[in-house]
């Protein structure tokens, strides 16, 4: 039987606010334990939550970015459960009336093997505001667990999709797109190691063609795209094998073990989760007006989709190039900075996606650490455009710039890469070449087109690669006609 995997994601994005969602305690990462845990964070009796306006702005930004319905009125609810890192005994979240309703994100799924790349729309079910819990720390005191409540109350936006994805590749393409988007609009720093962006993946399988969903298992807390791929692939295989062996899938929460590459069900709780959600009487309904949305919209950067369309229209880039350049804010900003500094758009696009991306990948660097700035790239491209250097020489100059050997013009000078564009000088070289290669000239005149290229090659060689190839072509043609 042919099987189909059905995947939905729940992502927790930590919002980039200075303070917690319901108190004025700092959210800075890496502080000494409990030094950013105020009376609200540690849930002393009698304290009351006061909602952070910036957390609300972040939610509005996300809603606008995915064309979602933003609730004019949303409600905070208590999700009740007991755990040492949750001193109140409940998490303040949103349940029936979330701040962000249905929206959508278009993903680009890359080509794999014979399968071509394609676009797909992933529907967002909802996104809601909630607070994070604290952290358990083991090993400080034998036989006890330590609780650090610095993270308790950090604002999160939980973003939930419809079960729209049909492969690990689609799930990862969505997760990457979302990861870029939240950073693009400045609501989350996207730091997966520090837990700022965590994904739970719901996986089920069903016979291909069936419209009934199978029983799902939820893979918790994946914090890298590589693990996400491995976890989904393992889980899918496991579910298919279990069903083919006549077994049944029971709903469960599973953890991925990066060492073994396997998923394993967590010890099942004695009682099924029963969170007894109810509206939090400490918080009034959150009202978001059209004016609030307009104010937030005015602060938002141009969104990737809009920027992509603009790049195509304004710079004549292909859809593919424009999509690649707007895959991250960093990349797009770098490209725009290079163009603003005087580079032509198309070569700038090629260099950013080609030489620069290749170097960054090879050295595992980000654009922020690029030794060649956008302005420096622009000055290099200007030297190609004004015929000072050839494309080939430009590669050598780029290499030298990358290794911090100086500015463009100094490198061209030092390495003697300046292209010869002086017609007289080129004519002299060509005359010599023609005199020395009479046989080739005869061949050409006898109709052998290839001989022409050989002559160009000889001329370039004679100039030590410095002659302007376009001029060599032109002058040679004239002399041979």
Partner 1 sequence: MALSIDDIKKIAHLARIEVSESEAQATLSKLTGIMGLIEQMQAVDTTGIEPMSHSQDLTQRLRDDVVTKENLRAEFQKNAPALGNGSNEPAVAEGLYLVPKVIE
| Contacts to partner 1 by CB under 8 A | 17-19, 23-26, 32-39, 42, 44, 50-56, 73, 75, 80, 82-84, 97, 136-138, 140-141, 143-149, 266-267, 271, 274, 276, 279, 281, 283-287
Q: How far is the CB of 126 from partner 1 (least distance, A)?
A: 17
Widest Cα–Cα separation across the chain: 100
As a whole number of angstroms, the distance between CA 385 and CA 394 comes to 11
DSSP-based three-state secondary structure for 126: strand
Q: How far is the CB of 254 from partner 1 (least distance, A)?
A: 12
Q: How far is the CB of 178 from partner 1 (least distance, A)?
A: 23
| Token pair for 125 | 């079910």
CB 379 within 8 A of CB 406: no
Q: How far is the CB of 82 from partner 1 (least distance, A)?
A: 6
Of 72 and 371, nearer to partner 1 (C-beta) is 72
| Token pair for 73 | 């009125």
As a whole number of angstroms, the distance between CA 287 and CA 295 comes to 14
Of 12 and 177, nearer to partner 1 (C-beta) is 12
Q: How far is the CB of 100 from partner 1 (least distance, A)?
A: 16
CB 41 within 8 A of CB 92: no
Q: Which residues in 325-345 are b (16+ Cβ under 10 Å) and which e? A: bbbbbebbebbbbbbebebbb
Q: How far is the CB of 9 from partner 1 (least distance, A)?
A: 22
Using CB atoms within 10 Å of the CB of residue 73, give its burial: 0 to 12 exposed, 13 to 18 middle, 19+ buried: exposed
DSSP code, position 223: -
Other C-beta atoms lying within 10 Å of the C-beta of residue 159: 25
DSSP code, position 39: T
As a whole number of angstroms, the distance between CA 407 and CA 134 comes to 50
Of 34 and 123, nearer to partner 1 (C-beta) is 34
Of 7 and 77, nearer to partner 1 (C-beta) is 77
Q: How far is the CB of 96 from partner 1 (least distance, A)?
A: 8
DSSP code, position 369: G
| Token pair for 470 | 């376009």
Q: Which residues in 349-360 are b (16+ Cβ under 10 Å) and which e? A: bebbbebbeebb
Q: Which helix (H) or strand (E) holds 174?
A: helix 168-184
Of 256 and 398, nearer to partner 1 (C-beta) is 256
Q: How far is the CB of 112 from partner 1 (least distance, A)?
A: 35
Of 45 and 113, nearer to partner 1 (C-beta) is 45
DSSP-based three-state secondary structure for 438: helix
Of 17 and 236, nearer to partner 1 (C-beta) is 17
**Which pairing describes strands 262-265 and 252-257: parallel, antiparallel, or unpaired?**
antiparallel
DSSP code, position 352: I
Of 33 and 101, nearer to partner 1 (C-beta) is 33
Q: Which helix (H) or strand (E) holds 157?
A: strand 155-161
Of 80 and 242, nearer to partner 1 (C-beta) is 80
Of 73 and 461, nearer to partner 1 (C-beta) is 73
Q: How far is the CB of 17 from partner 1 (least distance, A)?
A: 5
Q: How far is the CB of 220 from partner 1 (least distance, A)?
A: 10
């Amino acid at each position: 039987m042919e099987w189909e995997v059905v995947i939905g994601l729940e992502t927790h994005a930590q919002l980039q606010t200075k303070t917690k969602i319901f108190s004025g305690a700092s959210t800075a990462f890496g502080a000494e334990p409990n030094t950013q845990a105020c009376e609200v964070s540690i849930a002393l009796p009698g304290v009351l939550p006061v909602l952070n306006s910036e957390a609300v702005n972040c939610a509005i930004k996300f809603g606008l970015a995915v064309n979602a319905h933003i609730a004019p009125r949303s409600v905070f609810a208590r999700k009740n459960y007991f755990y040492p890192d949750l001193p109140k005994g409940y998490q303040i979240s949103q349940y029936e009336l979330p701040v962000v309703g249905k929206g959508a994100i278009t993903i680009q799924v890359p080509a794999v093997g014979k399968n071509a790349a394609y676009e797909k729309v992933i529907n967002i079910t909802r996104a809601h505001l909630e607070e994070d819990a604290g952290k358990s720390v083991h090993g400080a005191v034998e036989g006890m667990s330590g609780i650090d409540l610095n993270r308790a109350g950090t604002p999160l936006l939980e973003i939930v999709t419809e079960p729209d994805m049909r492969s690990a590749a689609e799930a990862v393409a969505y997760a990457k797109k979302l990861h870029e988007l939240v950073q693009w609009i400045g609501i989350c720093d996207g730091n997966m190691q520090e837990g700022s962006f965590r994904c739970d993946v719901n996986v089920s399988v069903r016979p291909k063609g069936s419209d009934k969903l199978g029983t799902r298992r939820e893979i918790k807390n994946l914090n890298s795209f590589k693990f996400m791929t491995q976890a989904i692939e393992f889980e899918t295989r496991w579910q298919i094998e279990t069903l083919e062996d006549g077994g049944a899938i029971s709903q469960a929460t599973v953890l991925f073990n990066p060492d073994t590459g396997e998923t394993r069900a967590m010890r099942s709780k004695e009682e099924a989760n029963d969170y007894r959600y109810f509206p939090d009487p400490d918080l009034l309904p959150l009202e978001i007006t059209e004016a609030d949305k307009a104010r937030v919209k005015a602060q938002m950067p141009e969104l990737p989709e809009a920027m992509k369309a603009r790049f195509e229209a304004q710079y004549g880039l292909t859809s593919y190039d424009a999509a690649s350049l707007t895959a991250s804010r960093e990349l797009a900003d770098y490209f725009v900075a290079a163009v603003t500094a005087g580079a032509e758009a198309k070569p700038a696009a090629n260099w950013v996606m080609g030489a620069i991306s290749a170097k960054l990948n090879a050295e595992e660097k980000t654009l922020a650490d690029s030794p060649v700035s956008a302005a420096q790239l622009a000055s290099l491209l200007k030297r190609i455009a004004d015929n000072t250097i050839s494309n080939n020489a430009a590669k050598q100059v780029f290499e030298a710039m990358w290794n911090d050997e100086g500015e463009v013009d100094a490198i061209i000078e030092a390495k003697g890469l300046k292209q010869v564009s002086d017609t007289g000088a080129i004519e002299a070289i060509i005359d010599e070449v023609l005199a020395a290669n009479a046989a080739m000239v005869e061949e050409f005149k006898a109709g052998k087109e290839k001989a022409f290229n050989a002559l160009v090659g000889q001329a370039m060689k004679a100039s030590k690669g410095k002659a302007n190839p376009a001029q060599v072509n032109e002058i040679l043609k004239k002399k041979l006609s």
